[in-house]
Each structure stands twice: as structure tokens, then as C-alpha cells.
Amino acid sequence: MRDDDGDALDRALRFLKSRAVGDYPVDEFGFDVELTETVLLPALRPLYDRWFRVSAHGVGNLPAEGGALLVANHSGVLPLDALMTAVAVHDEHPAHRHLRMLGAELVFRTPVLASFARRSGNTLACHPDAERLLRAGELVGVWPEGYKGVGKPFSARYRLQRFGRGGFVSAALRTGVPIVPCAIVGAEEIYPKIADIRPLARLLGLPYFPVTPFFPLLGPLGTVPLPTKWHIEFGEPLSTADHDPAAADDQMLVLDLTDRIREDIQQILYRRLSRRRGLFSG
């Protein structure tokens, strides 16, 4: 048996023992570090390493400690881009930080999914929770395009949707943390959305019901994402330390910084796409 195998076995036995006796810590948001590192991240790594073959760039732009807000583009029909970004942050950064993601209300209304989201460190995308996490020195991730981004048609790929009214910028200003732009290339093509069955989406309480070349035509087989080659690039951070926390109430400043971050991400996307050799070769 290799040493790595022995370490993995020891971790698994410790995990099972702690679960059996209920002796494991969670924070005020329900984040279970042990479950995340022992079960959830290992379950995602085959997708990250072998299916999407993710390459991470600019990891040094992520702070080694302290609060920071990571802002990324959103796409792909299902939010696999957020999960792959969380793996990149943890596995590629020397400090192995956990990305505390801000999720949509639908995530926390969905049975089972809501529990896993909380256990893996995610929380509802709202100002109070975001600011509490940032003040606690956490690395927080937000995808401000929301459903407009993740559910956009294939024809609009890599064109950023609106970032809303800049709530994420306000949270960064109030807490004085840097904002790190993040661009994800590859996720747009995993489920090429060519149509939306809106009556069915309303019936099911979903923001959209996608039609792709393979779903629902091929049934469950159509839910397998295409194995595109991904690049996740972390850009230069934008400091907010020179602004007074009261600047968060200056709507003109908030909108200006929101547009700046959006433009930074769009430019990184264009630059990364210009170097792309192909959907599957990268």
C-alpha cells in the first residue's frame, strides 16, 4: 500500500468515527470543513482534473489570508462553473482556501441540495451574510449575472449580462476588502442552450427549462456535460481600502466600480478566447 493510500484510509476512518459520534464542528453558517474536504471536494475532482481538465491562471492574485470578494462570469445552464472555481481556489492556491459562495434562493429552497450547499460553506446571496463572511476574513465568491448568465442562450456565449445594481461592490466597500475578477472559459459550451420551454419552467418553479441538442431528446444521457477544456483566470485585484465604508452608499461610485469589474472580466474572457485552440483541446 502506498503512503498516500494509507493517509486516505486514515482520513476516511477518522471521518466515519466523527460522523458516528457527532463530534465535528460547523460554523454559524453551517460550514462543515471535514465533510467538504473528505467527501465533497474529492467527488468534484474527477470532473475538474479529467473531464474538464481545468487550467487555473493567476492564482497568485488570490490573497493568502483575509477577506476578499471573488467576482466571476456565470454560464453553462447548471452552475458547474461555481463548483469548479471552488475546487481551483482550494487545490491550486498554496493556502488551500475555501471559497464561500453566495447562492440563489432556489438553491436553499431545494431539498437535499440546500443541506449540501450549507455544509460546503455556501450561503444566501444577501448583504448581511456577505458582509459577515468578509469581516470574518473569508474568501467569498459571487456570480452577479445570476440566472441571466447561467441560463443565457448559446448564441450569447461569453457576452456578460448585467451585473445588477452592484450589491457585491457595496459589501466590499463596507468591509474594505479587495475585489478579484475571475473569468471562466469552457463552461459556456457544456450544455449548449438553444431554446427554453417557459411554460414548463413556470410549472416546475424554475427560472428556465433548457433545450439543448441532447436534452431532453436523449433523456438522462442528455444531462452529461460536454467535456470541454476549461480555463479559470483570476485577474488583478481591485483595492477598496482607499474608500471610506460610507462610500458604499454612493450609488454612482458603486455603479462605476461595478462596470469596471464587469469590463475587467470581459477583457480577460476576450484575451483567453483569443488564445483558444479549440473547444476540447483548449
208-245 pLDDT tens trace: 999 999 999 999 999 999 999 999 999 999 999 999 99
Mean pLDDT, residues 95-108 = 94
Q: What does the block give as the cell for 85?
A: 472555481
Distance from C-alpha of 124 to C-alpha of 107, rounded to nearest angstrom: 8
Closest CA to 154 of 190, 197, 184: 190
E strands within 118-196? 123-124, 139-142, 179-185, 195-196
| Least-confidence region, from 55-59, 63-67, 203-207 | 203-207
Q: Please determine, for residue 18, whether its predicted confidence score (pLDDT) is greater than 90.
A: no
Q: Please determine, for residue 185, whether its predicted confidence score (pLDDT) is greater than 70.
A: yes
Q: Tell me the torsion sign for CA atoms 78, 226, 200, 165.
A: positive
Q: Which helix (H) or strand (E) segment is 71 a member of?
A: strand 68-72
Q: Please determine, for residue 282, whether its predicted confidence score (pLDDT) is greater than 80.
A: no
Q: Please determine, for residue 195, whether its predicted confidence score (pLDDT) is greater than 80.
A: yes
Give the pLDDT of residue 166.
87
Q: What percent of the chain has pLDDT over 90?
A: 85
Q: Please determine, for residue 6, whether its predicted confidence score (pLDDT) is greater than 80.
A: no
Give the pLDDT of residue 244.
92
Alpha helices in 22-99 (DSSP H): 33-35, 41-46, 80-92
Give the pLDDT of residue 15.
66
Rg of the chain over Cα atoms, rounded to whole angstroms, equals 19
Burial of 172 by CB count in 10 Å (0-12 exposed, 13-18 middle, 19+ buried)?
A: buried
Mean pLDDT, residues 261-271 = 98
Give the pLDDT of residue 26.
83
The whole-model pTM stands at 0.91
Mean pLDDT, residues 142-166 = 93
Average pLDDT over the chain, rounded to an integer = 92
Q: With bands split at pLDDT 50, 70 and 90, how would you rate the model's confidence at 9?
A: low
Q: Please determine, for residue 1, whether its predicted confidence score (pLDDT) is greater than 50.
A: no
How large is the greatest C-alpha to C-alpha distance in the chain, in angstroms? 61
Q: Please determine, for residue 88, whether its predicted confidence score (pLDDT) is greater than 50.
A: yes
Contact 74, 193 (CB under 8 A): no
Q: Please determine, for residue 25, whether its predicted confidence score (pLDDT) is greater than 70.
A: yes
Q: Please determine, for residue 5, whether its predicted confidence score (pLDDT) is greater than 90.
A: no
Mean pLDDT, residues 138-166 = 94
Give the pLDDT of residue 19.
67
End-to-end Cα spacing for the chain: 36
| Least-confidence region, from 87-91, 101-105, 264-268 | 101-105
Contact 62, 140 (CB under 8 A): no
Give the pLDDT of residue 2.
41
Residues 6 or more apart in contact with residue 10 via CB below 8 angstroms: none
Q: With bands split at pLDDT 50, 70 and 90, how would you rate the model's confidence at 17?
A: low
Mean pLDDT, residues 92-119 = 93
